Amino acid sequence: MSAPVSPDAAAATLLAGPATDLAAAVREGRVSARAVTQAALARIDAVDPVLNAFTDVTPERALAEADALDAARAAGQALGPLAGVPFAAKNLFDLKGLPTRAGAKINRDRPPAARDATLVERMNAAGAVCLGGLNMGEYAYDFTGENRHDGRSANPHDPAHMSGGSSGGSGSAVGGKLVPLALGSDTNGSIRVPSSFCGIFGLKPTYGRLSRARSFPFVASLDHLGPFARHVGDLAATYDALQGPDADDPALADAPVTPTLATLDSPGDLKVAVLGGWFARQGTPQAYTAVARAAKALGATRTVELPEVERARAAAYLISMAEGAALHEGRLRARPDDFDPAVRERLLAGAVLPAMWIARAQIFRRWFRDRALELFADCDVLIAPSTPVPAPRGGQTTFVLDGREMLVRPNIGIYTQPISFIGLPVAAAPIPTDDPLPIGVQLIAAPWREDKALQAARVLERAGVALAPEPVL
């Protein structure tokens, strides 16, 4: 007869598995939300000194939320779809009682937030338990996961390597099994890059789909918020919980809520193609092997091309620099020495860009979006690499792409920037390699068709092609 499983052991086991299974166990009373929260906090205490994913751990808040869930269940109340699931948020999301850092030294002088960000509130409303704020690149202007003020968030598959940015703490925390779910942001690739490096699933929704209210901006016309998870079902359940109207975000589209979890396993005849051209150059063999494996599993036999992708990436850079400089002008004048010099110099360069360049970039943006939409006339999903390489080593400044030595920091996003530039939804899927470090692919869909991107990710997960590998810690 086997020994009985202790509540603590049961909570730790559930914590390591799918979030939807954990939530079902909490709703059914097989484990308490408090026990799960305590297990997550213990995991953070044990592993985060190496990963440095968290900048703010909030045990009092977390335990109070967990106790409220347990009390509600004891009173016979129904619990939400994410009941008792621990999560954390990139520290550009407002968390009540904490200054919203946005990865910056300057922001620590801000007063504590009076209210949570809308997406944090929606996670709580679905029953998820907030454990704190996560490390990120300064003002989200980063692809590496390295922060001059808070240190770098490390890769959960080899801490000597990068987690990716700017949502590096989010990628590290989910990939390292500190929390099953996390929230991040993606302006030029900051959900998809950490997903690729840390071996997890991520979703960059359509621009205007999820509320950005009470989050610190970077580039208003490019900023997206979205979730990370280790399982596609968890990603879909979280995305479903985050949808809805919000008068506090004027950029939020007036689009109906479209649940995705219920149709996740009913993809129908998905029409999938591989993006060639720009997306088939400059990467390493690992990047293209990952695309080939995904294409085979999804039955993709066609290759299609987007025109002028290099110009789209350049236009995205110009818009990012100009809007970022406008946002930070006052801080650049008042406290220039408190910026990471690499961030400061790019923002200062943005401040002197000719207005004509920005106007032309915006005109081109519409043209490029129209060309992308033409591809979806007879295609549901496009496959492309997420990153040209698996995670570089921490502190690495150059790498070789297509026979040329290039700077790491600006060139990690060569495949992600052209897609967020036009606001398309993307599910990022992790593809294990023969090396300890994974790499990811982008599953790109037409606007408002997050369901198709998630269905494609589910097909890959079911086939064993896309999965979140076990962390080393």
Retrieve residue 68's tokens.
């409220």
Compute the distance between CA of residue 382 and CA of residue 376 in angstroms, rounded to an integer. 9
Q: What is the pLDDT of residue 2?
A: 46
Compute the distance between CA of residue 235 and CA of residue 440 in angstroms, rounded to an integer. 16
Q: Is 102 exposed, middle or buried (0-12, 13-18, 19+ CB in 10 A)?
A: buried
Nearest to 446, CA basis, from 387, 368, 383, 379 = 379
- Residues of the chain with pLDDT below 70 are 1-7
Nearest to 13, CA basis, from 45, 44, 46, 36 = 36
pTM here? 0.97
Tokens 């408002």: give the residue: 448
b/e 182-208 (16+ beta carbons within 10 angstroms → b): bbbbbbbbbbbbbbbbbbbbbbbbbbb
Alpha carbon of 21 to those of 14, 172, 359: distances in Å?
A: 7, 22, 49
Q: Cα 261–262–268 angle (5° rounding)?
A: 100
Compute the distance between CA of residue 166 and CA of residue 136 in angstroms, rounded to an integer. 5
Question: 40-61, pLDDT tens digit by residue?
Answer: 999 999 999 999 999 999 999 9
Q: What is the pLDDT of residue 6?
A: 62
Nearest to 66, CA basis, from 87, 89, 93 = 87
Question: CB under 8 Å to 246, separation ≥6 — which residues?
Answer: 118, 211, 213, 252
Q: What is the pLDDT of residue 334?
A: 97
Q: What is the mean pLDDT of the chain?
A: 96
Compute the distance between CA of residue 87 and CA of residue 37 in angstroms, rounded to an integer. 10
Retrieve residue 450's tokens.
């997050």
Nearest to 122, CA basis, from 252, 260, 246, 241 = 241
Question: 377-421, pLDDT tens digit by residue?
Answer: 999 999 999 999 999 999 999 999 989 999 999 999 999 999 999
Compute the distance between CA of residue 23 and CA of residue 6 in angstroms, rounded to an integer. 18
CB 270 within 8 A of CB 294: no
Active site residues: 90, 166, 190
Retrieve residue 67's tokens.
């106790």
